Amino acid sequence: MSQIDQVLAAAKALADRGKLPSVALLKSQLSNNIPLPILIKGLQQFKAMPKAEQARLVGQVEVEAEVVIADPSPEQAVARLTQELKQLKAAYQQLDERLTRLESQEKTA
C-alpha cells in the first residue's frame, strides 16, 4: 500500500466515523511518519473524490486501513513498555556507576 493509499484509507475511516478528515487528524491516526506534503495531497484527493469513488476505495483498502489505524494490542504495548523499562534501568545503572566513580575521584583528590 502506497503512502497516498494509506492517507486515503485513513481519511475514509475517519469519515465513516463521522469525523471531517483533516491533516491533523490524519497525522494522529497514521502509525508511520508520512511526509506532510503526502498527507496534504492525499487529503485533497479524498475531498475531490465523488462519493461513489470513495465507496470503491473502501473496498480496495478496507482491511489495510484497519491495520494502519489500529491501536497496538495489549500484549504489544506491554512488550514495548517492558523493553523501555529495561533500557531505563540500564541507563540508570550506568549513571549510578558513573556517579560513584566521580564521587570516589573527588574524595581522593
* Per-residue pLDDT tens digits for 53-77: 887 775 444 444 444 445 668 888 8
- The ranges assigned to domains in the chain are 3-69, 72-109
Distances (CA, A) of 83 to 26, 29, 73: 28, 24, 15
Q: What does the alpha-carbon distance between residue 46 and residue 103 come to, in Å, rounded to a whole number?
A: 62
5-35 pLDDT, tens per residue? Answer: 888 988 888 888 888 899 988 888 886 778 8
Q: What does the alpha-carbon distance between residue 23 and residue 7 come to, in Å, rounded to a whole number?
A: 10
Q: Please, what is the average pLDDT of the chain?
A: 82
Query: What is the radius of gyration, based on Cα positions, of the chain?
Result: 23
